Structure 1
Amino acid sequence: MRRYAFIILITGCSLMWTGCTNSIEKVKFFDRQSLPRQTLSQAVIVRSQYGRVQSAICAEAIEQYDNPEAKTIYPKGIDIVFFADAGDTNGSLHADYAVSWDTRNVMLARDSVVIINYRSGDTIYLQELVWNREEGRIFSNYPLHAHNGPQVTFGDSFHSDDSLKNMQIVNQRGVFVLEEDN
């Protein structure tokens, strides 16, 4: 009986000594490279400049990373509401996923992207959108369709200023309502 106990004790000790090990360098690399610096849940972020609210960002989850490049990821989607100087709502943007590179001032929104311009009544549906905040322009190289009342527009890509005042759709086609002059 003592012999079996001794064998079990030796086997157990040898398993403990030969168990899984990770080098400290590997653990530090994993921690620095893949884990977010900050994680937020059910977040609402209000951005203002000179005391005037410019936008409100709502997201179910936000992850902020420092390495290798500073970025903010919205893995469960993002909703942004844009405001005019008077506090009126200018428009909104929805996407099921987004990432914003902080140092480049560029945001990529993808998967079921919807832009609504409340001034013009346009609603634009896209697969992917790039917003260069520094240059003040947005663009997409993916097909889109837009609605404005009874008009439906399709296009292969588009680009615009970030206020959607100068929107240009490439290979535009669709249903257009024309009024006759009497």
Structure 2
Amino acid sequence: MTRKFILFILLTGIMAGCENDIQAVMEFDSKKAAVENGTDIITIFSQGGKVNAKLTAPAMERSIDKPAYVEFKQGLKVFMYNDTLGLESTLSAKKGKYLEDEGNVYLSDSVVVINKKGERLDTKELNWDPKRKIFYSTKEVFIKTPTDSLHGWGLEANEDFSEKKIISVSGPITVQDSVSTQ
């Protein structure tokens, strides 16, 4: 009988010591539920019924806590199209982050953009401002065209990279004469 009583006291003590704080459990569950993960991502972007871009990525993480964001820690590639689904440019980066409330996109680590003219942009960081509809960077940039190589710091470019401006150019520049002689 004493053994049973001692066993009962021990079990009661153990059970009382194993109590969970319900608030802590709910906070843990809400943090766990606030992140969505996906693999083998393919996203089609369209506007007005026309496809204008396709994003592919091996993995994606989406946080729905404020500020909500989507993050691509294993890289991403974006194909940008014109109105007739002709490929305008491709963009790739080893990391990317999209802030949902702002609409801003931050790309980093080996960012490469190639447009349909064969021009290539290489930089460590590239950002997208949807309000101004421009890509920009404050980091070192390299632009290779079929005829030139440009280097500098800082960049602003339109959505399809057909127009771009290096903020601070470094190195030799070849300027082509706009007036042809016959």
Measure how far apart 1:78 and its partner are. 0.7
Structure 2 counterpart of 1:154: 151
Residues 133-142 or 103-112, more deviating: 133-142
After superposing the two structures, state which structure 1 stretch, 28-37 or 64-73, moved more. Answer: 28-37
Q: 1:11 to 1:145 in 2, by over 3 A?
A: farther
- C-alpha distance in structure 2 between counterparts of 1:29 and 1:143, whole Å: 43
Aligned length: 179
CA shift at 1:130, angstroms?
A: 0.9
| Corresponding residue number in structure 1 for 2:60 | 62
1:71 aligned to 69, 72, 75, which one?
69
CA contact (8 A) 1:143 1:157 kept: yes
- Which moved further from structure 2: 33-42 or 49-58? 33-42
Q: CA deviation at 1:89?
A: 0.2
Q: TM-score, normalised by structure 1?
A: 0.81
In structure 2, the gaps of 5 or more residues are: 1-5
Shift of 1:40: 1.3
Measured in 2, the distance between the counterparts of 1:34 and 1:126 equals 35
The match for 1:163 is 160
SS in 2 for 1:121: coil
Task: Give the corresponding residue for 2:36.
Answer: 38
After TM superposition, the score normalised by the length of structure 2 is: 0.81
Percent pairwise identity: 19
Which segment drifts farther, 97-106 or 156-165? Answer: 156-165
Distance 1:111 1:85, change over 3 A: same
Check whether the contact 2:113–2:122 (CA below 8 A) recurs between aligned residues: yes
Distance (Å, rounded) in 2 between the aligned partners of 1:97 and 1:29:
29
1:135 deviates by 2.2
| Counterpart residue number, 1:87 | 85
Q: Which runs of 5 or more structure 1 residues have no equivalent in the other structure?
A: 1-6
